[in-house]
Amino acid sequence: MPYRAPADDIRFILTHVAGFDQVTATERFAEATPDVTAAILTEAGKLCDEVLAPLQRVGDLHPSKLENGVVRTPPGYAEAYRAVAEGGWIGVAATPDHGGMGLPQTLAMAVSEMMSGACLSLQLNPLLTLGQIDALEHHASDDLKALYLPKLISGEWSGTMNLTEAQAGTDVGALRTTAKPNGDGTYAITGQKIYISWGDADFMENVVHLVLARLPDAPPGTKGISLFLVPRHLPGEDGTVGAANGVKVVSLEHKMGLHGSPTAVMQYEDAKGWLVDAPNKGMAAMFTMMNNARLAVGLQGVGVAEAACQQAMAYALDRRQGRTPVGDGAGPIADHADVRRMLATMRAEVFAARSIALGCAVAIDMSTATGKTEWAAQAGFLTPIAKAYGTDTGIEVATTGIQVHGGMGFIEETGAAQYLRDVRVTAIYEGTNGIQAMDLVGRKLMDGGEAAWRLLEEVEKTAETARPTLPDLAEPVWAAAESLREATEWMVAQPMNDRFAGAVPFLRGWARVLGAQAHLSAAMAEGGTGRRAALARVFITRLLPETEALLAEARAGAEGLYALSAEDLSA
């Protein structure tokens, strides 16, 4: 089934759920009018439908390969990438000073989600460049910005991030890559990095790596990490690509999915690099890129979930098996109650996850436009929820999509299994979902829960507004918000390891409540009847009740987990 970008659903969420009108009301983003927003979403949707989506299976069947030191990408990828770059889609939110459109991050994220649904393997390339642009805009010197940002925004060059090393993994502070001063303001970078998405490509004039490394005599751990910009080829002052730098691809990983996207092991041997920001401040600069990427990865999950949902629905409307309880009983399997349950749940989860992620993007834009700390805190609180819930939704919806197909879902030719293989890693990279949950109960509750209380007040305000017309939906949303408030109060009062033990179900509880608020807002916007109201009832009556069980687990503490020794668990 051909993929269709969900531009209309995104536009509805921006208008009626996520509060995008607050963004366009600011002086900073006043040009993002409804007409501009509609045009951006429509044109990006066409690109996804007509150019990117046809490459979804191509990349899986013809993976990227390393041949004689050159990464060879799947057929059609070069042409599709040029269409993305020439359309200006890499610079949607980038500063106009260096060639970007200067539009809200919310629109860039919406475009990114549609591209993810069309062809996740290829979308990873501009996604990483977007993150690098953001990091350089915030942390690089004016000279580096002037040289690199125009090339990255135009898509002539692409960007990567290099964090992980084999011996360090998530413990970034254990990295061994070194940076030695060359005496001319540059540094010699030496070390090896693994899991580098799009570490190289055969259709790119240059690839620019952001590399974490340690200066001589730097403090141990993360406090001694600096960030360096290391290009594949050394550019002249005018941006002309020159000699090869001391960086190469050693090998490409053989992965479960995302076969079209080359994941490289990168070797740096006295590669010339430039310091980004101050010495030993690399983690702060890299987190600018990572926070951008975490929201985008959450929307990758949503994009794949959308595509898997579309394919499952098409199959369920075409496949006929057994007597159904609708009409003359000869309808498609979509008429069977359990299949209808799966399809409705998939669609309800996608709507909720998309709404939460776009709401997070709106908070980022409001923070940028107003400088108010409350918006920054809200964006920070929502980011781990958007990342974890969005990617979990991608995995769950792709799994359910296989189930809808029955035996055919297990057959590769249908393409249903590819969605699961491709999306599975999104719960792992850019910080595993467990780390996202630990961030939520740790750093994001360091304010004593202030950001959480403000969000819960908004949920309860939505429920109050809906009470007169939709009491059957408003009441359970209100009650779930109160339960979540009590659980959050419990979390704030606990030692950190007890918080960590319940972090994942706690985050999921937040996703359930915020998703219910989004559905309730949609139902009200529709007038309480119709498709969106019916979908809201699916989420609020069938999925929201999970909140109580999730919060009970969240409050269970760590003691019971450690009553079992490691030997007990391996017995």
How many angstroms separate the CA atoms of 353 and 191, rounded? 38
The answer to whether 283 touches 225, Cβ cutoff 8 Å, is: yes
CA neighbor of 377 nearest in space, from 443, 435, 422, 433: 443
Answer whether 7-152 and 159-281 agree in fold: no
**Closest by CA position to 405, among listed 413, 416, 395:** 416
- Is pLDDT of 286 > 80? no
Strands 187-197 and 178-181: antiparallel
Residue 173 has pLDDT above 80, yes or no: no
Tell me how far apart the alpha carbons of residues 301 and 422 are, in angstroms, rounded to a whole number. 10
Give the pLDDT confidence of 240-251 residue by residue, as tens digits: 999 999 999 999
Which run of H or of E encompasses 161?
A: strand 157-162
Mean pLDDT in residue range 175-201: 95
* DSSP H or E segment with residue 266: strand 263-276
Name every residue whose Cβ is closer than 8 Å to that of residue 549 and which is 6 or more positions away in sequence.
Answer: none
Predicted pLDDT at 1 = 58
Q: Please write the tens of the pLDDT for every residue from 380-401.
A: 999 999 999 999 999 999 999 9
Catalytic residue among 137, 165, 349, 430: 430
Mean pLDDT of 150-170: 90
Structure tokens of 563?
Answer: 């009553």
3-state secondary structure at position 170: coil
**What pLDDT score was predicted for residue 337?**
97
Q: What is the rounded average pLDDT of the residues 280-304?
A: 88
pLDDT given for residue 168 in this prediction: 74
The percent of residues above 90 in pLDDT, for the chain, comes to 90
Helices of type H across 467-502: 471-493, 496-501
Calpha distance 160→247 (Å, rounded): 13
Fold of the domain built from segment(s) 7-152: Butyryl-Coa Dehydrogenase, subunit A; domain 1 (1.10.540)
Number of Cβ within a 10 Å radius of residue 328: 7
Lowest mean pLDDT among 77-81, 218-222, 311-315, 318-322: 218-222
Which parts of 33-99 are beta strand (E)?
65-67, 70-72
d(CA 49, CA 307): 11
Tokens of 158: 């692409």
pLDDT exceeds cutoff 70 at 222? yes
- Choose among 462, 461, 463, 505: nearest CA to 484: 505
Residue type, 84: V
Higher-confidence residue of 281 and 400: namely 400
Query: Domain segments of the chain: what residues?
Result: 7-152, 159-281, 448-559
Per-residue pLDDT tens for 463-492? 999 999 999 999 999 999 999 999 999 999
The beta-strand segments (E) located in 182-262 are 187-197, 206-213, 226-231, 233-235, 241-244, 247-252
Computed over every residue of the chain, the mean pLDDT equals 95
* Average of per-residue pLDDT across 140-145: 95
Of the options 3.40.50.970, 1.20.120.520, 2.40.110.20, 2.130.10.10, the CATH number for the domain spanning 159-281 = 2.40.110.20
pLDDT tens digit string along 443-466? 999 999 999 999 999 999 999 999
3-state secondary structure (DSSP) of residue 261: coil
> Which amino acid does the sequence have at 309?
C
Determine the Cα–Cα distance for residues 152 and 154; give it in Å rounded to an integer.
5
Q: Which candidate, 192, 56, 58, 208, places its Cα nearest to that of 128?
A: 208
d(CA 200, CA 81): 14
Pair 211, 187: CB distance under 8 Å: no
pLDDT band, very low/low/confident/very high, at 288 (cuts 50, 70, 90): confident
What was the pLDDT predicted at 169? 67
Q: First and final CA of the chain: distance in angstroms? A: 47
Render the burial of 202-222: b for 16+ CB within 10 Å, e for the rest.
ebbebbbbbbbbbbeebeeeb
Report the DSSP beta bridge partners of residue 159. Answer: 208
Residue 361 near residue 295 (C-beta atoms within 8 A): yes
**Annotated catalytic residue 430:** yes
Please report the pLDDT score of residue 291 as a whole number.
77
- How confident is the model over 336-367, as pLDDT tens digits? 999 999 999 999 999 999 999 999 999 999 99
